[in-house]
Amino acid sequence: MMNIVLLEPEMPANTGNIGRTCVATGTRLHLIEPLGFKLNEKAIKRAGLDYWDKLDVQVYADYQDFLDRNPQAIGNLYFATTKAHRLYTEPAYRPDCYLMFGKESAGIPEEILVANEPYCVRIPMWGEIRSLNLANSVSIVLYEALRQNRFGELNPAGQLHRLHWNGEN
């Protein structure tokens, strides 16, 4: 099972959207406090639609609490940051890896990034754009990790029904 880790997320809509993505991919969501919202807020549930009750979510008091409760993450934890020198497509992600993203206003603290520099990854962007939306960034990196693992148990095929077109709308 893949793992998304949000360090001090601030916007309930982003976390709700990320939660929905986690449900759709069978991914566990880890939230590290402080959160910029309450987990029972309408905005988070609205963004997560009716999937929020299906979400596998864990909450931690701080970064050290997360590490203490997830020792298997050490050496299997990637840090998404605009400061990385390595592209998000370069690591060989394991099927049980952890992908961490920082809060919307500041990202992951510099001291965490410096201590884990070999595991820092970046999504390339044009020019001087500061960053992408958090929910979009999570989707990009998560789906690369899933692609590398042949999408695990995700359903790879839809069911397109062919309609007979008779030339009329």
- Helical (H) or strand (E) element with 113: helix 110-115
CA pair distance 148, 166, nearest whole angstrom: 42
* Residue 123, annotated as binding a ligand: yes
List pLDDT tens digits, range 76-109: 999 999 999 999 999 999 999 999 999 999 999 9
pLDDT level of residue 169 (50, 70, 90 thresholds): low
Pick the CATH number of 3-148 from 3.40.5.10, 3.40.1280.10, 2.60.120.10, 3.10.180.10: 3.40.1280.10
Six-digit token string for 123: 């999504």
* Residue 139, annotated as binding a ligand: no
CA pair distance 59, 33, nearest whole angstrom: 7
CA pair distance 37, 119, nearest whole angstrom: 29
pLDDT of residue 47: 62
List pLDDT tens digits, range 107-164: 999 999 999 999 999 999 998 888 999 999 999 999 999 999 999 888 888 888 777 6
* Residue 140, annotated as binding a ligand: no
Give residue limits of the domains in the chain. Answer: 3-148
CA pair distance 95, 27, nearest whole angstrom: 10
